[in-house]
Structure formats: structure tokens, C-alpha cells
Amino acid sequence: MKEEIIIAGFGGQGVLSMGKILAYSGVMQDMEVSWMPSYGPEMRGGTANVTVILSDESISSPILHEFDTAIILNQQSLDKFESMVRPGGLLIYDGNGITHHPTRKDISIYRVDATVEAARMKSAKTFNMIILGAYLKLHDLVKMENVLKGLKKSLPERHHHLIPLNEKAITRGGEIVKKI
Amino acid sequence: MRELKLMKGNEAIAEAAVRYGVDGYFGYPITPQSEVMETLMLMKPWETTGMVVLQAESEVASINMLYGGAGSGKRVMTSSSSPGVSLMQEGISYIAGAELPCVIVNVVRGGPGLGTIQPSQSDYFQAVKGGGHGDYKLIVLAPASVQEMADFIGLAFELAFKYRNPAMILSDGVIGQMMEKVEFDEYRKRWTEEELIKNNPWAATGKTPDRERNVITSLHLQAVDQEKLNHKLQAKYREIEKSEVRYETYMCDDAEYLIVAFGSSARISKKSVELARTKGIKVGLLRPITLFPFPYREIDAYSEQIKGILTVEMNAGQMVEDVRLAVSGKVKVEHFGRMGGMVSSPDEVEEALEQKIIGG
């Protein structure tokens, strides 16, 4: 089993931390993992992306030219990465601010309106966990218990009281994701 | 029991240094390696192992603090990225001339000049051909994973003290910034003063009545003496070349073509090898782990078997010169690489292999 994922959006949306939680979840499941950020002068409002690989075998390249799954959180990232999803792969996107929607017919496309839902949950910070929940619903690569363990590992202890809220957001993401 | 963690290559450098029993880290922040000192500051090793962590006023100061620490027999290190390592070259030359052990980590970014903060391997020449003045060599290790970032701290110190020579870990922004699983050894104690004096009889630890004074210097005003030192250094480098070559091969047994790549380019090329193999192209990967000493003979050993070599480096073609030297014209050698902080993708490398080596 091997899953190559790109998560891309604006800085400040929790792109890197979502990738980190996925990577930690993989570690909890005894998988090999790699997490490669597009580090640089990115900041809140700029673009940010991270490549996460989870695999039962050792991982060769942390840099990829095609992906099994693209998790897309803004228009620029959709324009850039839609074509890089492998045929038969998965594309999940947040509909907020998207004017040119994905058009490919050879991949599964799902939409999750996480920005709207996060506002409804009165916590903008739940946004990336709603997205993660949608992904986990579609792809049971890592078990929920391991995701929670991963969440615990990647959150500083002073934020551990937020874990129940994050869990709720993950569940919600699974409920509201819809196929396009 | 080895301890498993998920962390960045830069963080692994810091964690491994504390666990290995390093006495002092002196550095100045620069992207993409600032996490090394940040992690050390968070770990506060001065409260546990007694390791000194100091942010110097500049890279020039850092390297000269290494000079002093190494002269007194301490295990000392610094880390920086390309422009910072350029600033250190004078000090590195002095340390090599004074035959002192220390470890310098270069998490390379694109150049020349202030360049970019994105990954590059364009400091290969500087690292292996002597970036400073005079005839000297660094022992150069090229990690290709976060695990090797951790493991090579210990290896670099062992080699540095064995040969009384500065060692460099030549990494890049990819390996520095990526997170992977990494296992660590248990914490080791730093040398006690007695151990340090016993292990390093050459060090400036204070003169005792039973021995001559130890002088740490790279200045020999008499040319005769300076030549003597040069002969000694050269003999040492020949010994290192004989004993310390390290490399790794992947799918080379039946290979008709070879990719030679180090560090993150080797990781990317490994995937390119897998891609090419699915197309029926028999290609293998040879990854030099030590860049000095370079695996000349080990590469040449494939000359009879293969039809061509592609070197993959994130630069304009530097290690390719050493690979050409290795096979001295017996096999066609071409270079492929992105520059200035751009990173090759596995399919680009595979395509380059087909175009430059197989088709060309």
C-alpha cells in the first residue's frame, strides 16, 4: 500500500499541519512516511503546499511529479495540481473562492465546503480538520484511532483540549463531502 | 533501545548532536537550516549534557569559535547554508592547516551570491575541492535521508577525530526541510576532562611538566616546514582515500546504464530508476555517500558492464567531472540537473536518461 498526496492552498489554512497529522498517523500505523513542504518565503495569504507519502515500503523520492490524491484549497493550487493527479486518482477541493472548477473525467472529484462549515462551527481553525475528515471518509488509509494519536503527537500539549473539537470537525468533514 | 521520532532533517542534526555528546555548537541563523539552532535552543542541552549552544555574531565568528574549541580537544560543530559557509572558508582552511577535528554542516541553497533559499547542490566543488586557500581536503559526507542526517553526526565526528581533520556534512534544503522517521541512539555522556586529555594528546589542554607544550597553529614561516606539513596532510588524505570510501548501489547488478547521484538527487533518481525499469530499461543507481573520498574505483568497476552514465545533481554539473575522471573516457558520461533552487522531478530525470544517454 502506497499513497502519494499533495495538499495545497494558502499559507495559514493549515496545509502543513494537516500533512503533519497525516504523516504522524502513518507513523502510528507503522508505515514509512515522508513530509516535504514547499518551504520558502511563504506566509499567511501566500501559497503553501506539502507532499505527504505513506507507504508500507521504503520511500524513494520525497519529490513527485504525479499524485494519487490532491487536496486542493484554493484556485491557484487547483490550476497547478489538477493535471498532476494520476488517472483513477482522487481530487478533493474546498469550493470557497473557486470560479474554475475541476474538469477532468478520469479522476474522482469530490467537493467539501469546509470554509462554510468551519464558519458554521464557529471556529475557522477547524477548517483543515474538516478537509482531513473528508479525505479519511473517502480513503481509509489510516485508522481514526491513529489519526487521533497523530493529532495528539503533532499538537503542542497546551492545545490538547482542542482535540475533541478537531475530532468533531473530522467527523463533520466525512458527512458533508460530496461527489461531483 | 533506539528511539523513533518523526522530524525534519535539520531537527535530526540537533537531536543527534546532543545525544552524541557534542561539547559545543556555534552558529548563525540562515534559511534553510535555522531549525538546527532553534531545536538546540528548545532542547536546552546546557541544562542536561552541559553542551554549549551559542548564536555568534556572524559565520566568521562561529567558525573561529570552532577553531578555538577544536584546538582544546572539544567536540565542536556549526551549521549554515551556502552564503554562510562561504564566509567560513578562511577559518576552515586554518582548521585544516592546524589539523583540528570539527564538524561543519552545510544545508545547501541555490547560488551564487545570496541566491535563493530553495534547495541546491551547487556547493559540491566548494566542499570537495577545498573552498578555502591552500592544499587541503575536508572529509565530506552526503546524507540522503533524515536518518542519515542523524547518523552522520556521529560518523563525521569519528572520522574528524580519527584523522584530525574537519569533516563536512553536505546536505541540502530538501533533506533539511523534509520530515521522515528517524531512530536515535541513547544519550551518551560528553568526554570528561580526563577522557578528553587521554583521547587527544595533541590538544591545548594546559601544559603539564611531563610533556612539551602543544602548539595549535597553521602558520609555518619557514617554507621547509610548511612543505613538511603539506606532505603530512597529503599522506593523510591518501590514507582517507584508501580507507573511508562509502557508497551505495541500487539495482546495479544487471545494469546497462548507471545514474550517479548524491543526497536528495539520489532519492529522486531512485524513483527514476524504478520508472525506467517499468519501461524495461536496465538502469541502476550508484550513490556516493562520501564525496571526499570519492568512489572513483567503485564507479570505474562498472565501466566494462555499462553503456553510459548520467549524473544527476542540482547544479550545472560539478560531480560529473569526478565521474568522468573515474571512468577516464571509457564510458560516455552526461550530466542532468536543475539549478538555482529548482528541484528535478523523477520523470524529468528518467527522460534525461533516455535522451542524453540511451538515445544520444
pLDDT in tens, B193-206: 999 999 999 999 99
Round to whole Å and give the CA distance between B234 and B238. 6
Contact between chains at B118 and A32 (C-beta distance less than 8 A): no
Domain-wise residue ranges, chain B: 3-194, 248-358
Round to whole Å and give the CA distance between B327 and B282. 20
Could you identify the residue written with the cell 498517523?
Answer: A25
For chain A, which residues lie within 8 Å of any Cβ of chain B, measuring from their own Cβ? Answer: 20, 23-24, 27, 32-37, 39-41, 59-66, 153
Could you identify the residue written with the cell 574549541?
Answer: B69
Can you read off the three cell numbers belonging to residue B354? 533516455
Instruction: State the Cα torsion B176-B178-B184-B188 to the nearest 10°.
Output: 20
| Nearest-by-CA chain A residue for B146 | A34
Could you identify the residue written with the cell 543527534?
Answer: B16
- Look up the CATH number of domain B248-358: 3.40.50.920
Contact between chains at B174 and A62 (C-beta distance less than 8 A): yes
> pLDDT tens track of chain A, all 180 residues?
899 999 999 988 999 999 999 999 999 999 999 999 987 665 666 789 999 999 999 999 999 999 999 999 999 999 999 999 999 999 999 999 999 999 999 999 999 999 999 999 999 989 999 999 999 999 988 999 999 998 988 888 999 999 999 999 999 999 999 999
Can you read off the three cell numbers belonging to residue B303? 565501466
- Asked if B271 is an interface residue toward chain A (Cβ–Cβ < 8 A), one would say yes
Q: From 3.30.1490.20, 3.30.70.260, 3.40.50.970, 3.40.50.150, which CATH number describes the B3-194 domain? A: 3.40.50.970
Round to whole Å and give the CA distance between A148 and A170. 10
Contact between chains at B343 and A32 (C-beta distance less than 8 A): no
Round to whole Å and give the CA distance between A127 and A6. 17
Residues in chain B: 360
Number of H helices, E strands in chain B: 14, 14
Q: Which of A35, A61, A66 sits opposite B270 (nearest CB)?
A: A61
- Look up the CATH number of domain A2-113+142-163: 3.40.920.10
Could you identify the residue written with the cell 477532468?
Answer: A104
Cβ atoms of A124 and A118 within 8 Å: the answer is yes
Instruction: State the Cα torsion A36-B156-B184-B346 to the nearest 10°.
Output: 30
Contact between chains at A65 and B174 (C-beta distance less than 8 A): no
Q: Which residues of B touch A24 (CB under 8 A)?
A: 6
Domain-wise residue ranges, chain A: 2-113+142-163
| Nearest-by-CA chain B residue for A34 | B180
Determine the distance in angstroms separating the CA of B279 from the nearest CA of chain A, rounded to an integer. 17
